[in-house]
Amino acid sequence: MRIDYTPQLDFKDVLIQPKRTTISSRSQVLLERTVTFPNTTATWTGVPIISSNMDTTGTFELYDVLSQFKMITCLHKHYTLDDFKSRYETAPLNPEYFMISTGIGQESLLKLQELVNFSKAKWICIDVANGYMSRVVEYAITIRKLFPDKIIVAGNVASKEMVEELIINGKVDVVKVGIGPGSACLTRRKTGVGVPQLSAIIECADAAHGVNGSIIGDGGITCPGDLAKAFGGGADFVMVGGQFAGHDENPGTIEEIDGKKYKLFYGMSSEHAMKKHYGEMATYRSSEGRVIRVPYRGALKTTVQDYLGGLRSTCAYINAHNIKNMPKCTTFLMVGQQLNTHFEK
């Protein structure tokens, strides 16, 4: 046992210091960026924000909105080939703006091959809660051999050594970073394991960039300011779950309780999700996800525009003309309070 006394920071622990700027209008900020990758010749251009592959947010319906903004939807792993075929009868998906998710079992591999070959997907996301397992690296190697021209994502991890392992030996291009920061995640409570998300992003981004890879900051976003802090900390992409929930486009009916409207949002390791997709929850595990009633928010487009507007404003405050330049324009200040909440109830 050892103790690391280095301060570990979450988004709530910092603010971004403003700087002299030559940007006179938010409209001058470019949110699109082009990304190259270490283990494939593919490149990607778009707005590097990703909807999480939960079955409330990683859906065709969210893709329809987010793709209009050149953002990515990481589709949940429970879509079948028949689901894709049905969708493609009306409107095929643009390979630039969606990911196919996969587990690490043999059945997952067979299904992945079917889905990628049918959809012509450009992105593959190897998605497991514990990205530290050696099996993840082995599976990534297999996927790379099968799909040498695809952009491969793997995770989740929260420290530099596994980022380097996945990129160098696993031959992945992008590592998903975040252990337990999500609003529907109970991993930290149930296991005591995790790293505060901003510190995880800073450390893992540094490791990934050292070997020409990229990271996705996955989880912990509660407002547009958190999104800006994730990019300022070095994230190449940011994945959003709960903040993209509760809209017209999310599945499920609207519930009304005491005059207020809600939609259901839940973690994919929750008992609710396990029973929905597998019929039961295995007795050897506990529920590491929660079920949340998210306040109904109307159209997803409104939330997306709010987040992109906040991000442009951050860039204007720190003289970052684009997302790529945000880390070198960012100085974080450790703070004890972020907002004056005197009149909030």
For residue 1, tell me if it sits in a domain. Answer: no
Examine residue 6 and state whether it is found in any structural domain, yes or no: no
Model confidence at 186, pLDDT cuts 50, 70, 90, reads: confident
DSSP structure class, residue 253: P
In tens, the pLDDT along 57-93 reads 999 999 999 999 999 999 999 999 999 999 999 999 9
Give me the active site residues, please.
185, 187
**What is the signed CA dihedral for 15, 20, 26, 30, rounded to 10 degrees?**
-90
The whole-angstrom separation of Cα 121 and Cα 94 is 8
**Looking at the 3D structure of the chain, how many domains does it have?**
1
Q: Is residue 43 part of a domain?
A: yes
Q: Report pLDDT digits (tens) over 301-328.
A: 999 999 999 999 999 999 999 999 999 9
Q: Which domain holds residue 272?
A: 11-334
Determine, yes or no, domain membership for 341: no
Contact (CB, 8 A) for 289 and 188: no
In a domain, 339, yes or no: no
CATH number of the domain within which 43 lies: 3.20.20.70
d(CA 260, CA 216): 34
Evaluate whether residue 63 is within a structural domain: yes
Decide if 17 is inside a domain. yes
Whether residue 5 is contained in a domain is answered as no
Grade residue 281 by pLDDT with cuts at 50, 70 and 90: very low
